[in-house]
Structure 1
Amino acid sequence: MFVYALSGIIMVYRNSDFLKTEVITEEKLAPNLKERQLKPIFKKGAEVVKREGDVIYLKNGTYNKETGVAIMKKMELPFILDKMEHLHKANTNSPLYFLNIFFGASLLFFVFSAFWVYTPKMPVFKKGMYFTAGGIVLTLILLFI
C-alpha cells in the first residue's frame, strides 16, 4: 500500500518537474532531417524555438542539420520513484499486471469487509455509516467538479 500511495502522490506532480532531474543525452541522427521528422524523436519538446545556421534549437534540445547530432534534455524521476510510477500505471502489456488486479481486488475486499467488523446494534457501526455517507458525498463532489 505504501508503494501505491507514494506513487499516486508523485503522479499528481507528473506534469511538473517536482523531484525530477535533468538528463541530457546525445544521439547521432541522419543529417538534414525536416522538422516533422524531429517530432517523434523530441516528442513533446519538438517545438522550434530558434535557428542559428545549421543548428535548430527546440524546446528540449538542439539538432545540428549538418552533422545530425541531436542533444536532448529530459526530466526524469529518480530510478526507484520511476519504477514505482510505472508499476502504478501498469496495463495488460506489463508482465506483472495481474499483481495490480490482485492488489485492487484486495483493497476492494478490505473496503467491503469493514462493514462486517461491527454488528449493526453497536454505536460505532452507526458512526461508521455516517462516515461512509460522508465519503460517498465527498467522492461524488470530487468526481463532478
Structure 2
Amino acid sequence: MNNSKLSMRVLHRYLGFFLAGIMAVYAISGIVLIFRDTDFLKSEHTEEIRIEPNVKNENIGKALELRRYTFEREAGDMVYFKNGDYNRKTGVAHITTKELPYILDKMTHLHKASTDDPLYWLNIFFGVSLLFFVISAFWMYLPKTKVFKAGLLYSLAGIVLTLILLFV
C-alpha cells in the first residue's frame, strides 16, 4: 500500500472515531428538526410578561419581542394573538410556547447555528470533515478491485437519488 493511501485510511479512521459523538448529535437533531413544525416531543410552557398598557395591535409583537406575531381578535380590553393574549388595561400578556426537552433543544440549536453564534465554527469544521470522508472513502480500495467498482456504482446511485429528491 502506498504512503498516501495509508495516510488517507488512517486519517479517515481516526477522524471518524473523533467525530462519532458529533455525528450522532447531528443525526438525532436532524431527525428531530424534520418534525419542527409539529408538536412532536414538545411540552407547553406559558409565560406572563408585563409591558406598557394600551399598546397598539400592530406594536404588540415588537413590544413582546415575538418573531411571528399574528393578531387574531379583540374582545373588550383583551387582544388575542397566535399563542397568547394581551390585556390592554393592565399591560399583562400571556404567551404559550412549545419547547423541546432541554437536551434536544441544545442539540437542534447546535445543528442550526449561524454566523451570529460562536458554534458556527464547529459546524464548518464538521462540514469540512464530512467532505473529507466523502473524498477519502475513494482511497480505501485499489481502483481495479471489485469493491472499488461496486463503491462507484453505489456512489452514482446515491448521487442520482439525491438529485431526484432535490429536483422532484
TM-score, normalised via structure 1 length: 0.93
Partner of 1:128: 151
* Residue 22 of structure 1: aligned partner: 44
- Pairwise CA distance, 1:20: 0.9
Q: CA deviation at 1:45?
A: 4.4
Identify which of 73, 94, 115 aligns with 2:117. Answer: 94
- Asked if the contact 1:55/1:64 (under 8 Å) is kept, the reply is yes
Could you say which residue in structure 2 is the equivalent of 1:46? Answer: 70
Count of residue pairs the alignment pairs up: 144
How far off is 1:78 after superposition? 1.0
Cα separation, 1, equivalents of 2:153 and 2:38: 37
Residues 38 and 46, structure 1, Cα contact 8 Å, conserved in 2? no
Tell me, which stretches of 5 or more residues in structure 2 are unaligned? 1-22
Q: CA deviation at 1:39?
A: 2.4
Q: Report SS of the residue matched to 2:44.
A: strand
**Structure 1 segments (4+ residues) deviating >4 Å:** none
Name the SS of the counterpart of 1:22 in structure 2.
strand
* Identity between Structure 1 and Structure 2 (%): 55
The one-letter code sitting in structure 2 at the alignment partner of 1:44 is: R
TM superposition score normalised by structure 2: 0.81
Task: Please give the root-mean-square deviation of Cα atoms over the aligned residues, in Å.
Answer: 1.3
Can you list the C-alpha shifts for 1:114-141, whole angstroms capped at 9, x where unaligned?
1010111111111111101101101111
